[in-house]
Structure 1
Amino acid sequence: MTDQTAGTPIVVSVRGEANVEADPELCEFAVTVTARDKDRRTALEQLTRRNKDLLDQLKAEYGEALEKLETGRFSVYPEWRTKRDKPGPYQGSVRIRIVVKDFTILGEMVTRIADAEGRTIDGPFWSLRRDSPVYRTARTEAVTEAIRRAREYTAALGSHLTTLLELADTGLSTGATPAPHTRMMYTMSGAAPGAMPDEGPPALDLEPTRQTVYAAVEARFSATQPAEL
């Protein structure tokens, strides 16, 4: 090593990555309420009633367990077979987004809200909250990994880190092992005369899917020149 390079710092560039697994914090379902009748007004009234029944049921029975309850797309339209035909029966639908934070009621809630005519459920979709501490944990572990790698490289050279020059966040993502989504459609029917009161369908056993948060950073450090190479 020459005298000119002895005091010149070297630059060490590394990448730090982390994968952190955690239990989900939220569970989302989408319920589509439908109605169909040859008369447009009747179809609309039927849809309005079914939509109100669902919202009232969710708020009354599971209000404290919900993170969000939102109404999405709404439509009422005639069914056409061909352009020359007269309009057929009218079809109406409204989509309700349900986000649950209390998983203890999930199985019961899903089957109870599905046990009515004209309801279709899509889900479950598991997730973390946007401000979940799991994301911070992943970022911290990625930075720690970058520092560890840089120290190992400089130790192998016989030098040591002196200054952090740059730290860049190159990616943060959340993933989960794909799980089959449950799609359910139940039709309510009247009980036979003399039958025992309907206690409702049994609760559906739902197993949460663990979430994986991936974080990556790129870091550049200055380090002392090695004593010898």
Structure 2
Amino acid sequence: MSEVTITVRGEHESRIAPERATVHVTVRAEGAERSSVIERAMRLAEPVRTGITERQEAGSVVDWSSKRLSVRAERPWNEEGRKLAPVYYASIDFSATFIEVTELSIWISGIAAWDGVDVGWVNWHLTPQTRADLESEVASAAVGIAVRRAQSYASALGLETVTPVEIADTGLISREVSPGPQMMARAVALAAADSNPMMEYEPEDIVVSATVEARFTAH
């Protein structure tokens, strides 16, 4: 037996607690007069903005943003099929990134009862550096598992030398054996809450996983 082609899959995952939580809040107002609706929306938004900036100064909020005031008008229909006078709607969106879950819960519990304030979803995530480090570690571990599997198969066949030919994301490996080594391993998936945002104040661990397919020649 001179040479055998071995194709394997390597998988690995790591779990870590979220480091950041970004909450989305919308302030809304509506009414028959455009100017009064705008004024009301601005007035309702002020304590929300103040609460965020105070927490940023205290260190529990690391970043926040606010979109410009959005205003639209709709003319509803009555039961007789006639259009009524316009109704104006105004809204201002906020997002704030917290580093303290307790402070986030306290703040949300307070503003959720305020008139005109809608608390949206919370995105649990990691810092960019932590995410990049984990992706690298998990991808390397997945490749290592693929290499060990290939070596085990080769040993079972009485072969000693295993040479990598192709490593790729799942589903991307070619059907034909490549003539030379190719390194394309980048199969890292971050299963975070920002994929499927939900309002949760006790987050589950974020799962970072990687799956690679690898092809080797064994001698």
- Counterpart residue number, 2:217: 222
Identity across aligned pairs (percent)?
A: 28
Mean Cα deviation higher: 67-76 or 22-31: 67-76
Instruction: Specify the alignment match of 2:174 in structure 1.
Output: none
Partner of 1:106: 104
Structure 2 segments unaligned to the other structure (5+ residues): 171-186
- Structure 1 residues 4-44: Cα deviation after superposition (integer angstroms, max 9, x where no partner): xx4xx332221111122211122122101011232111111
Counterparts of 1:88 and 1:154, CA distance in 2:
76
In structure 2, distance between residues paired with 1:182 and 1:143: 35
2:191 matches 1:175:
yes
8 A contact 2:13–2:209 mirrored in 1: yes
Residue matched to 1:35: 29
Using the TM superposition, give the Cα deviation of residue 180 of structure 1 relative to its aligned residue in structure 2, in angstroms: 9.4
What do you get for the CA RMSD once the two structures are aligned? Answer: 2.7
Please identify, of 28-37 and 97-106, the stretch whose mean Cα deviation from structure 2 is larger.
97-106
For 1:163 and 1:48, how far apart are their aligned partners in 2?
Answer: 66
CA distance in 2 between counterparts of 1:55 and 1:15 reads: 50
Secondary structure of 1:20's aligned partner: strand
Work out which of the residue numbers 7, 22, 40 in structure 2 matches 1:13. Answer: 7
Q: Which residue of 2 aligns with 1:135?
A: 135
**Which residue is equivalent to 2:52?**
58
The amino acid across from 1:66 in the alignment is V
Partner of 2:183: none
Secondary structure, aligned partner of 2:75: coil
Deviations 1:160-184 (A, max 9, x none): 234222222333222269999449x
Shift of 1:215: 0.5
Pair member with larger Rg = 1
Deviation sequence 1:119-163 (CA, Å, 0-9, x none): 010233322344412222221221111111111101111112342
Amino acid at match of 2:149: R
Q: Could you tell me how far apart the structure 2 residues matched to 1:179 and 1:221 are?
A: 37
Equivalent of 2:18 in 4, 14, 24: 24
| CA 1:15–1:179: 2 relative to 1, 3 Å | closer
Letter in 1 for 2:191: G
Measure the CA separation in 2 of the matches of 1:162 and 1:151.
6
Residues paired across the two proteins, number: 196
Segments of structure 1 that go 5 or more residues without pairing to the other structure are 184-205, 225-229
8 Å Cα contact 2:14-2:209 kept in structure 1: yes
SS of residue paired to 1:160: coil
TM-score by length of 2: 0.77
* AA in 1 matched with 2:119: I
Q: Distance in 2 between matches of 1:39 and 1:69?
A: 31
Amino acid at match of 2:70: S
Residue 47 of structure 1 is aligned with which of 34, 38, 41?
41
Distance 1:65 1:161 in 2: 55
Letter aligned with residue 210 of structure 1: D
**Residues 123 and 197, structure 2, Cα contact 8 Å, conserved in 1:** no
